[in-house]
Amino acid sequence: MRRSVTRRSRREFIHQVGVAAITAPVAASLITSAHAQEDKRLGFALVGLGSLSTNQIAPALQKTKHCRLAGIVTGTPAKEQAWADKYNIPRKNIYNYENFDRVADNPDIDVVYVVLPNAMHGEYTIRAARAGKHVLCEKPMEVSVKKCEQMIEACKKANRKLAIGYRCQFVPHHVEAIRLAREKVFGDVKLIEASFGFRIGDPNQWRLKRALAGGGALMDVGIYALQGARYISGEEPVEVFASETKTDTVKFEEVDESILWSMRFPSGVMANCGTSYLVGGMNRLFAAAEKGWFQLDPAYSYSGIQGKTNRGLMEFPQVDHFATEMDDFALCIKNNKPTKVPGEEGLRDVKIMTAIYESIRKGRPVKLG
């Protein structure tokens, strides 16, 4: 009996060695392939080469671990050569707004980053999705709820991921503020104050044209305060009440200049928020809780975020906001995981901003949901 067991064991051993010899190269190949996929930098194409792309996003792409600047889309021929020379972009990866759809045939480009005026976000997000590309779209997502819904539907139909450029959600100071609220480190948050504004310059820029911007200070920078109040409360507002002040009726003929609004949340938390194109110095996110407080000030700038609580300073490293958000999106794509800033997140903000504008027009609170 013992001999038969020994023989069977030897036969099994020889068989296992043979199988291992055959499968080892295959396994090694699979592992190598997996590592190659993990290490592959995803190619980003920037649609729109304005100030944000030029001064923030393109430089940030040089700092990323999982992304690279692979292509550009511009309506200004003079920019094509300058960008190609600076970032070594091949001619085949340079598009204009007319031939943009040809990006579908370009395997160098994995992600399209839409950095256009607000009212153009929908068109180019949908075209990118139809071309088989994942999309990162700057905030605000669009200028209407309907367009946001169309963007979400197009990306779902194409089985492509859609993320909205809420960079602050990836900044350590904001992540910590969210943790303090969720873990009730100072007890339940009861009151939130959030504001962001600056003095806008050139009166001829697209941000002051309703057809392109959809709105003024609220759509551009007030959305940061709106976002902050939402992710600190951890809830969706059930009511908004807003008022607008316009001191320069020529410059701000088409869009809002300054808006103050309040939001009431289901738990009873209240948020008082403000935004302006007339004055600076509004750059704060503050939360008062049962046993203390915490704040970010400045809260939304591209750099230099500072945090503080009633116990002391928030000590966190400064990061490149755009590099951090793009790397996060790249990893979501590589690992097929959901992004924490999907199209649905952008849609929620547009619904709330729509209600804020409605409240201004009607002069009364507007219920949500």
CA atoms of 50 and 138, how far apart (whole Å): 13
Question: Residue 24 pLDDT > 70, yes or no?
Answer: no
Question: Given phi > 0 = left and psi -120 to 50 = alpha, else beta, which region is 170?
Answer: alpha
* The predicted structure's pLDDT at residue 23: 39
Report residue 25's pLDDT band, with 50, 70 and 90 as the boundaries.
Answer: very low
Residue 342, SS3?
strand
95, 224, 231, 357: the active-site residue: 224
341 in Cβ contact with 166 (< 8 Å): yes
CA atoms of 321 and 313, how far apart (whole Å): 20
Q: Which residues pair with 46 in a beta bridge?
A: 72, 113
Residue 135, both tokens: 């999309």
DSSP 8-state assignment for residue 316 = -
Placement of tokens 């180019």 in the chain: 124
294 in Cβ contact with 308 (< 8 Å): yes
Using alpha carbons, select from 63, 42, 40 the residue that is nearest to residue 109. 42
CA atoms of 114 and 116, how far apart (whole Å): 6
What DSSP string runs through 266-314?
Answer: TTS-EEEEEEESS---EEEEEEEETTEEEEESS-SSSS---EEETTEEE
| Interval 278-292 mean pLDDT | 97
- CA gyration radius, the chain: 25
Active site residue 157: no
Residue 54, SS3?
helix
Ordered alpha helix ranges (H), the chain: 2-39, 51-52, 58-61, 77-87, 121-130, 145-157, 172-182, 210-213, 217, 223-233, 321-334, 343-362
Active site residue 300: no
Residue 251, both tokens: 């410059």
Question: Residue 11 pLDDT > 70, yes or no?
Answer: no
CA atoms of 365 and 355, how far apart (whole Å): 9
Contacts of 343 (CB under 8 A, 6+ apart): 137, 141, 148, 151, 152, 155, 162, 163, 164
Question: Residue 9 pLDDT > 80, yes or no?
Answer: no
Summarised one tens digit per residue, pLDDT across range 175-201 is 999 999 999 999 999 999 999 999 999
* The predicted structure's pLDDT at residue 29: 39
Summarised one tens digit per residue, pLDDT across range 319-367 is 999 999 999 999 999 999 999 999 999 999 999 999 999 999 999 999 9
The residue type found at 355 is A
113, 124, 133, 139: the active-site residue: 139
What DSSP string runs through 90-141?
Answer: -GGGEE-TTTGGGGGG-TT--EEEE-S-GGGHHHHHHHHHHTT-EEEEPSS-
The residue type found at 10 is R
Please, what are the domains in the chain? 42-164 (3.40.50.720), 168-319+340-367 (3.30.360.10)
Using alpha carbons, select from 274, 261, 266 the residue that is nearest to residue 225. 274
The residue type found at 349 is D
Using alpha carbons, select from 203, 297, 296 the residue that is nearest to residue 257. 203
Question: Residue 37 pLDDT > 70, yes or no?
Answer: no
* The predicted structure's pLDDT at residue 64: 98
Using alpha carbons, select from 135, 151, 134 the residue that is nearest to residue 143. 151
Residue 239, both tokens: 């009511």
* The predicted structure's pLDDT at residue 38: 52
Q: Which residues pair with 292 in a beta bridge?
A: 289
Report residue 369's pLDDT band, with 50, 70 and 90 as the boundaries.
Answer: confident
Report residue 236's pLDDT band, with 50, 70 and 90 as the boundaries.
Answer: very high
Query: What average pLDDT is seen over the chain?
Result: 92
